């Protein structure tokens, strides 16, 4: 994720827009229904997802050890190249602990908690679900000017998803 954050002068926090991008992963789901061509445990490939987000961060311009970042993001996942319409909305809470803290560079480590809602629908198969996850995260703030900071971060997210699906005349629920 790349974040561009403009500090709020009064409290050295900031608000910014960012572009989230996730690499592909293999996913396993367990369903309540056994479908001949899918089965009760099935796998699919989440190829990538990208979108847009808004972040509010604290401690951009202060020399403190702890900070917090709240983000709201929309992404459009690509799944197995067969889901035409896939959308996800997530709320992210990141707790930041400073490792390197100079006037122009801040390196942070900390946990990230996410809560999301996703909907996939291609006219034949549709799925609605929620997810909750936690991720270790690392990021860097580069203070390029007095009121301008650019940030880069990376995390490794593990999530639990649950929801319902509809495949033709078959329906069920999933957890994974």
Give the chain as a 3 state SS string: CEEEEEEECCCCEEEEEEECEECCEEEEEEECCCCCCCCCEEEEEEEEEEEEEEEEECCCCCCCCEEEEEEEEEEEEEECCCCCEEEEEEEEEEEEEEEEECCCEEEEEEEEEEEEEEEEECCCEEEEEEEEEEEEEEEEEEEEECCEEEEEEEECCEEEEEEEEEECCEEEEEEC
27-48 pLDDT, tens digit each: 555 555 545 455 455 555 555 7
pLDDT of residue 84: 58
pLDDT of residue 61: 61
pLDDT of residue 109: 94
Contacts of 1 (CB under 8 A, 6+ apart): 18, 19, 20, 21, 53, 152, 153, 154
Domains and CATH numbers, the chain: 2-23+44-155 (2.40.160.20)
Conformational region of residue 131, where left means phi above 0, alpha means psi within -120 to 50, and beta covers everything else: beta
pTM score, two decimals? 0.75
pLDDT of residue 43: 52
Tokens at residue 93, please? 């809470």
88-113 pLDDT, tens digit each: 899 999 999 999 988 888 899 999 99
């Amino acid at each position: 994720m790349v974040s561009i954050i403009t500090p709020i002068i009064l409290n050295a926090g900031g608000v910014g827009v960012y572009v989230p991008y996730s690499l592909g992963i293999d996913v396993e789901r367990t369903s309540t229904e056994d479908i001949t061509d899918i089965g009760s445990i099935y796998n699919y490939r989440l190829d990538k997802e990208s979108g847009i987000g808004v972040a509010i961060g604290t401690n951009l311009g202060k020399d403190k050890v702890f900070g917090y970042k709240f983000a709201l993001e929309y992404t459009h996942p690509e799944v197995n190249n067969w889901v035409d319409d896939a959308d996800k909305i997530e709320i992210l809470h990141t707790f930041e602990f400073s490792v390197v803290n100079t006037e122009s560079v801040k390196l942070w480590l900390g946990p990230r908690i996410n809560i999301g809602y996703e909907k996939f629908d291609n006219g034949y198969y549709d799925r609605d679900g929620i997810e909750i996850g936690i991720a270790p995260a690392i990021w860097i703030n580069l203070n390029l000017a007095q009121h301008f900071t650019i940030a880069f971060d990376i995390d490794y997210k593990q999530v639990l998803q649950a929801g319902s699906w509809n495949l033709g005349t078959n329906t069920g629920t999933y957890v994974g």
